[in-house]
Structures are given as structure tokens and as C-alpha cells.
Amino acid sequence: MRHFLTLKDYTKEEILEILQLAKKIKNETKNKIYKDYLPKQTLAMIFEKSSTRTRVSFETGIYQLGGIGLFLSSNDIQLGRGEPMRDTSAVISRMVDMAMIRTTNQSKIEEFAKYSKVPVINGLTNEYHPVQLMADYMTIQEENLEENLVVAYIGDGNNLAHSWLNLASKLGFELRIATPADYQVRQEILKNALEEAKKSGAKITITQDPKEAVKGATVVTTDTWVSMGQEDEKEQRIKDFNGFIVDEDMMKLAKDEAIFLHCLPAYRGYEVSEEVMDSSQSKIYEEAENRLHAQKGIMVWLDSQREK
């Protein structure tokens, strides 16, 4: 049985296999062909952090696959009242077929997976956001940008940046991450990615100059400067990220065919300008839709691994 906790747990071949499956299911969905890949299966969706895209995409996805999703906020279950994660996992996993968790520390979801009898999917933690990266790369594939791919990530060295490091180091493309000095990616995650890059041929660059990162890139991506739980840091962060907005001038440094991605929600005028968000280069809504399809691919693939 496999879990989907980080991309570093997967090979290049497995990642591409899941995405190929996701594209197949997406094509079927577009043609109104709904196959019961997971008939009568139940997905427990545990939310310690709220979300729009994660809830809608997983709940819709499991339904379209023939199953049902159970929304469980920390206020609804004993986990929010102090029940140990291992006990919550041991009980819930005896009643459902799969679990998705959106929580704080990565250690929480790893503990849940350790005691779970069913596959566990990381819907987001403070350290990683692997399902988002699967949707992002699916969008890149659909835009035919896989060949000579150069991704420029501009902004906070957060869970999204960490998952970009995981993905690039596995698939072997060029990744440039530009962050302010005090907002760099975690060194142990970077070290792991650089070691993996030696095998895959990935080129990973860390800089504090966003223009240097974007120059000649084929994908430009960013994330909010102020994530959930950081609201009290907002004013300071806005000052610290001065010069890191992805605006029209920044995009002009990228390739003509470059696209812009953002995991959303976006704060227009902060990490990205209104003009870039609404431009023809922006593929943010295609990217958001692909959360649905990529996650369906992940769920079906995990189900296929149960007996292996």
C-alpha cells in the first residue's frame, strides 16, 4: 500500500504514470464518460486548515469516480478535542477506503499514515503541497512546455517552493527559486533535492534576484506572501517582498511563450499584478481545474497499489 505524502517518495516514472492516468480520466470526463473507478469507496477529508479548491476538487473527484467524500473539520471530530493522531487514524481508517488530510506540520500526516490501514493523501502541510504540483505539471504538459522546461518560482520559500524542489529533482528540469534573504527554502529540503538532481540531471538555482530567475523562463509561478496563520506578519512581509511582484515588466523577461501559474488564492497587487493575472499568459484557472483531474489520477493510482 502506498501513501501520497511528498513527491520525494515517488520516482519519475510513477509521477508521469499518475499524470497519464489523470489525463485519461480528464478526457473521459470532458466527454461525459464517468467510469466507476472507485465504486462505493469513501474518502475521509480531514481539514485542520480550511480550503476552497482542496475541498471542492476532492469531494467532486471522489463522487465522479463512483465514491463519496466525508468532510471532517477539526471541529467535527475528536482530533480537535485532543485525541491523538494515531488513535484518530486507527479508527477512521477502519471505516473508510482512503483519507486526505490538510493540516499544519508534516509530522502529523506522517503519523496518521503510519497507523492508517488505507492510503493517505497530503492535501497540504506547512512543509509540502504535492497535489498542487501534480496539477501544475499537468497544466505544463497541456501547454506543451515539457521540453527545455525552465520554471521560475518567485516569492516565499514555503511548502509550494519545497514541492517544486521535489518535482524538479525527480523529473530533471531546470528550476530557479528567488526569495528574499529571510524567506529562503529549508536547507535540508534543498540539500535532498540537490542530491536527487545529480541523478536526474535537474538544474536547481537559488537566488535573491527575481529578475535573474525569470529571465528566459518558460513558466513563472508564485504564491501568496501571507499564508494562513501569518496574518499578523502581513505588513512586515509586504515590506520584505518589495520587488518580488510578478508584473508585466517581470513577465517580459521570460520567454514569449511563457505561462504564469498561481495555486490561488491570489492577492492582486501584492505577489502578482492584476494585468498578469488576467493576461493570455495566465493559466491559473486551467491549473485550478486540474486539481480535480490530477487528484482523481492520484486516488485511482493509489487504489491500484493496494495489493502490490
Reply yes or no on whether 129 is catalytic.
yes
pLDDT score recorded for residue 10: 98
Fold match between domain 7-129+291-304 and domain 144-282: yes
CATH numeric code, 7-129+291-304:
3.40.50.1370
pLDDT digits (tens, 9 = 90+) for 202-259: 999 999 999 999 999 999 999 998 776 666 778 899 999 999 999 999 999 999 999 9
Nearest to 139 by CA among 40, 262, 286: 286
Residue ranges of domains in the chain: 7-129+291-304, 144-282
- Cis previous bond, 265, omega within 30: yes
Average pLDDT, the chain: 95
pLDDT score recorded for residue 242: 95
- What would the DSSP string read from start to end of 289-305? HHHHHHHHHHHHHHHHT
- What would the DSSP string read from start to end of the chain? ---BS-GGGS-HHHHHHHHHHHHHHHHHHHTT----SSTT-EEEEEESS--SHHHHHHHHHHHHTT-EEEEEETTTSGGGGT--HHHHHHHHTTT-SEEEEE-S-HHHHHHHHHH-SS-EEEEE-SS--HHHHHHHHHHHHHTT--TT-EEEEES--SHHHHHHHHHHHHHT-EEEEE--GGGPPPHHHHHHHHHHHHHH--EEEEES-HHHHHTT-SEEEE--SS-TT-GGGHHHHHHHTTT--B-HHHHTTS-TT-EEEE-S---BTTTB-HHHHTSTTB-HHHHHHHHHHHHHHHHHHHHHTTT-
Burial of 1 (0-12, 13-18, 19+ CB in 10 A): middle
Which residues are bridge partners to 100 per DSSP?
45, 121
pLDDT score recorded for residue 75: 78
**Could you tell me the three cell numbers for 156?**
516565499
Catalytic residue among 162, 263, 295, 303: 263
Reply yes or no on whether 41 is catalytic.
no
Catalytic residue among 3, 55, 102, 293: 102
Reply yes or no on whether 230 is catalytic.
no
Residue 44 predicted with pLDDT over 60: yes
Q: How many CA atoms lie within 13 A of 274 on its CB side?
A: 1
- CATH says 144-282 is which class? alpha beta
Catalytic residue among 223, 237, 295, 303: 223
Q: First vs last Cα of the chain: how many Å apart?
A: 7
Which residues are bridge partners to 157 per DSSP?
none
Nearest to 10 by CA among 270, 160, 196: 196
- Residue 229: which region, alpha, beta or left (left: phi > 0; alpha: psi -120 to 50)? left
Reply yes or no on whether 303 is catalytic.
no
Catalytic residue among 291, 293, 295, 303: 291
Residue with cell 517582498: 241
Confidence of residue 307 (pLDDT cuts 50, 70, 90): confident
pLDDT digits (tens, 9 = 90+) for 90-107: 999 999 999 999 999 999
pLDDT score recorded for residue 229: 63
Q: What is the mean pLDDT of residues 23-31?
A: 97
Largest CA-CA distance found in the chain, in angstroms, rounded: 54
Residue 308 predicted with pLDDT over 80: no
Nearest to 270 by CA among 249, 247, 245: 245
Q: Does the predicted model carry a pTM greater than 0.85?
A: yes
Residue 78 predicted with pLDDT over 70: no
Reply yes or no on whether 102 is catalytic.
yes
Catalytic residue among 3, 132, 136, 262: 132
Reply yes or no on whether 268 is catalytic.
no
